[in-house]
């Protein structure tokens, strides 16, 4: 019995890496959606990508100053409060990278509750 990606490659005439890249694009990068589109569990979908040597970057990761990581990781790296940056993103409707840049360059006034300003 052949694997899903091999059957799909034979059916479409496309190479396996292209089939998997298109599946990744269609799914928005979510394992559960990849599993649904390929009629398998998300664990089996993950094993399929590992078996073919393809690593999917996490959905929540983004690039900031040349480093790709999650918001929590970026905040830890720069010594910032994750919750403060996250709240700033929500209340000011800016991107996560823009909010981090503002905090790192000290352009955001830090409020300390209970302390006179």
Q: How does pLDDT run across 9-54, given as a tens digit for each residue? A: 899 999 999 999 899 888 887 888 999 999 999 899 889 989 988 8
Give the range of the structural domain holding residue 73, as residue numbers without chain letter.
62-104
With b for 16 or more beta-carbon neighbours within 10 A and e for fewer, the 71-92 pattern comes to: beebbeeeebeeeebeebbeee
Number of structural domains (the chain) is: 2
Element (H, E) at 95: none
Query: What are the tens digits of pLDDT across the range 51-109?
Result: 988 887 777 788 898 888 889 999 999 999 899 999 999 998 999 999 999 999 988 87
- The pLDDT, as a whole number, for residue 90 is 92
Residue 42: inside a domain: yes
Residue 69: inside a domain: yes
- The pLDDT, as a whole number, for residue 113 is 72
Residue 110: inside a domain: no
Residue 96: inside a domain: yes
| 3 state DSSP class of 69 | strand
Is pTM, for the whole model, over 0.85? no
Residue 16: inside a domain: yes
Tell me the two tokens of residue 33.
């959606």
pLDDT value at 116 more than 70: no
pLDDT value at 111 more than 80: no
Residue 88: inside a domain: yes
Residue 92: inside a domain: yes
- The pLDDT, as a whole number, for residue 117 is 58
Same domain, 46 and 67: no
Contact partners, residue 84, CB within 8 Å, separation at least 6: 103, 110
Same domain, 46 and 17: yes
Same domain, 40 and 67: no
Sign of CA dihedral 37, 62, 96, 78: positive
Residue 111: inside a domain: no
């Amino acid at each position: 019995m052949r694997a899903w990606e091999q059957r799909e490659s034979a059916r479409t005439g496309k190479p396996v890496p292209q089939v998997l890249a298109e599946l990744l694009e269609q799914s928005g990068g979510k394992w559960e959606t990849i599993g649904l589109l390929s009629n398998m569990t998300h664990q089996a979908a993950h094993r399929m990508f590992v078996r073919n040597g393809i690593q999917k970057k996490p959905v929540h990761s983004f690039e900031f100053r040349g480093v790709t990581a999650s918001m929590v990781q970026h905040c830890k790296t720069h010594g910032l409060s994750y919750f403060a940056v996250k709240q700033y993103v929500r209340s000011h409707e800016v991107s996560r990278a823009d909010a981090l840049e503002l905090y790192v360059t000290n352009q955001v006034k830090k409020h300390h509750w209970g302390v006179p300003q």
